[in-house]
Amino acid sequence: MVSKGLIILLCVFAVYSEISEDEGVWVLTDSNFEEALNLQPNILVEFYAPWCGHCKSLAPEYAKAAKKLLLNDPPIHIAKVDATVNTELAQRFSVNGYPTLKYFINKEPNDYTGGRTEDTITSWILKRSGPSVKVVDCACDIDNQVDANKVTALLIAGQDSSEGVVFDTVSKSIDGVGFIQCTSNDCAEKYGTSMPSLILFKKFDERRVDFAGSLTSSEVSAFINKNKVPSVIEFNQDAIELIFRDSNPVVFLFSVDFEPYQEWFTNLSKEYKGVLLFCRAEVASTDNGRLGQFLGLKPEAQPTALILDPKKELAKYRLDKELTEQNLRSFIENWKSNTLTSFMKSQEIPADPFDNGVRIVVAKNFEDVVMDKKKDVLLEFYAPWCGHCKSLAPEYEKLAQQLKSVNTVVIAKMDATENEVKGQEIKGFPTIRFFPANNKKGVEFDGERNAEGLLEFIKKNSYYEIAVNKVDL
């Protein structure tokens, strides 16, 4: 006779077998999503599109995190959903961009707030799946734990000590670091220290850093955050998160050949550790080329340096002298003393100011065209690669033709990847803003993205009365 337990096990296995894996990641669909949540109610799910560049960049890190999490006891699964195929799930969870990551807690969706690298994904999930600190009572248990992480914080202190409470609190606020507490004296003997003490182990730079301050939350957090980053980082996904997600100011050194600058750049990075990140990059490569475009830096400008400050609305400062140790040190000191002037990107004013009837705006003529108090101006901030912008283009050009004879209205566009204007924050493409003659602060467009919807919006918000006959083009 078949036991009840075996029947239940077979049922569970039957459900599990319907969920395929891709490099350790569960592949979910409209039909097996609920089964996955029944098996693991707390789960991270990536909603992606096969053609999405950001999704392709995330894929290898997501797969490495998945494999690492499967080694946990018990194993933890993460999943992905092709939102272009499984449209019911995409609609149900309001997926409007790619990738969208949701962390389900007891089957209820929550926004994922972690990073996009193996280490940050792993540590973020582990903190929400159990204790954020691994507590061991023997020095022999530590080596494997340290080897599993790029950065490991080891506290040697008693089980119920106040230092342990502080350590546990700090562990919940820092991603990308493994946290271990050893409660026995043999740990202190092994590492040549005493109880309580804190050591940071790293797989880069100096391999061990001993904490010398007071074991308070603020000092421990500052110590770990300061030392968890390599002295000089390369521009990659890790760097993107450190700079843009964590809002750390950074000095970039751009050069095809880093070797002539490596020694003194590394020395400066140690001198200013905790003040600035130091990052090396090369504009001509594909990934760094996008960075160069964002910063307004051409390959021919190399070698050079630039400071980017996310805490000041991504303010950019260029080194306008030869790239030497002394010049870069002076450049950093001037940034620290707030004596540098930031710059904003602009294309040159085009010889032909119109493109299919649409006025071309660049940063250099934004004030003259858009801020003209005698004109109602509709401005599209676009990106050349944006699919939604390309879809809008014929409707936008149709609108420009419809209003061609109305001399109080300007239909304009600006490539927001090549031009920046102070006070104009762009969070997505296309962004459409109307600047009527009596309100140059601008009004966000919120209608239908077609000629009719745009025209209706202009009529509703314009300062000057508009009378125009519709034309079909």
Q: What span, in angstroms and rounded, lies between the C-alpha atoms of 180 and 337?
A: 39
Report residue 47 as tokens. 């909603």
Distance of CA 160 to the CA centre of its chain: 37
Active site residue 386: yes
Phi-psi domain of 357 (left: phi exceeds 0; alpha: psi -120 through 50; beta: other): left
Q: What span, in angstroms and rounded, lies between the C-alpha atoms of 394 and 451?
A: 9
First-to-final CA distance of the chain: 77
b/e code 273-303 from CB counts within 10 Å (16+ = b): eeebbbbbbbbeeeebbebbeebbbeeeebb
Active site residue 182: no
Q: Please count the CA atoms within 13 angstroms of the CA of 193 that sit on its side-chain side.
A: 20
List C-alpha distances in Å: 211 to 17, 137, 146, 195: 49, 21, 17, 12
Active site residue 138: no
Q: Please count the CA atoms within 13 angstroms of the CA of 153 that sit on its side-chain side.
A: 30
CB 152 within 8 A of CB 146: yes
What amino acid occupies position 186?
D
Q: What span, in angstroms and rounded, lies between the C-alpha atoms of 52 and 61?
A: 15
Report residue 406 as tokens. 């109305």
Q: What span, in angstroms and rounded, lies between the C-alpha atoms of 332 and 251?
A: 8
Q: Which of 182, 187, 279, 389 is catalytic?
A: 389
| H, E, C per residue of 375-425 | CEEEEEEECCCCHHHHHHHHHHHHHHHHCCCCCCEEEEEEECCCCCCCCCC
What amino acid occupies position 158?
G
Strand order in the sheet with 43-48: 20-22, 25-28, 78-82, 43-48, 100-105, 108-111
Q: What span, in angstroms and rounded, lies between the C-alpha atoms of 393 and 398?
A: 9
Q: Which of 11, 55, 140, 187 is catalytic?
A: 55
Query: Which residues are annotated as catalytic?
Result: 52, 55, 386, 389
